[in-house]
Structure 1
Amino acid sequence: MPKTPADLFAYLDDLGIQVTTVSHPPLYTVADSQALRGDIPGAHTKNLFLKDKKDNYFLVTIEEDAQVDLKQIHHMIGAASRVSFGKPEALMALLGVAPGAVTAFGLINDDKGAVRFVVDSDLVRQETINAHPLTNEATTSVRSEDLLAFVRATGHEPAILKVSS
C-alpha cells in the first residue's frame, strides 16, 4: 500500500524537516499549476518518470520552465538506451503516485531502490523547492538541502546533474 500524504509528513517530521503545505484544486500540468497555485514562493518542479529499454527507471526533477532533450538525456543520466515515459502502472507500483502527481516525495514508496533520482543542478541552487506531497491537490515547500536529505533518507543517492537546456 503506498504511503499517504500524512505518512509523508510524519516521515519528514521524524527527519526534522520543516515544510509548508498549501491545498488547492487538482493540478495535472505545469500550466494548471501556474494558473491555480496562487503565490507560493520558491522554485516549482516538473517531474519526468522515465525508463530505458532494460527497464531501468529514472525520476528526473527540474524547474517547471526548464526544458530537457528527451532524445539526448539518456547520455546524461546513465540510461542503457534512449528513454521513454514510464507507464502509469509502473509509476504507481514504484512511486505510489498517479500521473499528474509525480514528485520527488514519491521516493518514500520506492523501498527497493528501483528508481534512480536525478535532480537538475539549477534546481538545487534554489533556496526553496515546491513539490506535490504524493497528491496533486497540494503543494509542499521544502528547503533544497532538506529535499536532498529526504531523498538520501529514503535510500536514494541523488544524482545532481545539469540536465536542463
Structure 2
Amino acid sequence: MKNIKKVSLLSVLSLAVAIPLTASATATTDVAPATTDSTAVSQSANTSTDVNTPKVGDHVITPQATDPVLDVRLRGTEMSKPFTIRAGYGYVKVWVRNYGSQKIKLTVTQGSGAGTVKLSGTIYPGEDWSSPINSSAWSTGDFYVNLTSGSADMSGQVSVRTGTTRGELE
C-alpha cells in the first residue's frame, strides 16, 4: 500500500513539472515572426560624433553653476577684500550680516579698491542684507568688496557668489 502511494505521488509530481514545461514551449513557438518595413532604422545615438554639441530641439539639462568667491568675517572699521569673476560667471550677489553697533557702508568696485563702483549699499546694525543681482553680466577680472563702519569695529560676515545666470543666485 505504501508503494502505491509513493508511485501515485511520484506520478502526480511528474505531471506537475511536465505540464508547465510543455505549455511554455508551446507559448514560445506561437509567437509571430518579426517583420521589417522599408524605413531605415536610425542609430544616430551610436554613430554620433558631436555628442557634446547641443542642437535646436535637444533637451539639455544644465546644472546650476555658482562660484563662492568670498566668505570672510568682518573686522576693524575698514575692509577691502578682492575676488575674481571667472569667464562665464558674470552675475554677482553679495550677502552681509551686520552684528555690530554701527551701520556698514558697502561698495563693490572693479579693478581696485578705488575703481569703478559696480554696486553699493548700507547695512544697518542687526540686519542681514543681500544685494540685487546685476541685470547684465559683469566682465571677468578682479573686483573688491569695500566695507566701512565709521568709528566702531565691524562684526559680522560678508559673502560673495558669482553665477552663470541670474536665476542661479535668486
Structure in which a larger fraction of residues adopt strand = 2
TM range (shorter): under 0.3
| Larger radius of gyration between Structure 1 and Structure 2 | 2
| TM-score, scaled relative to structure 1 | 0.26
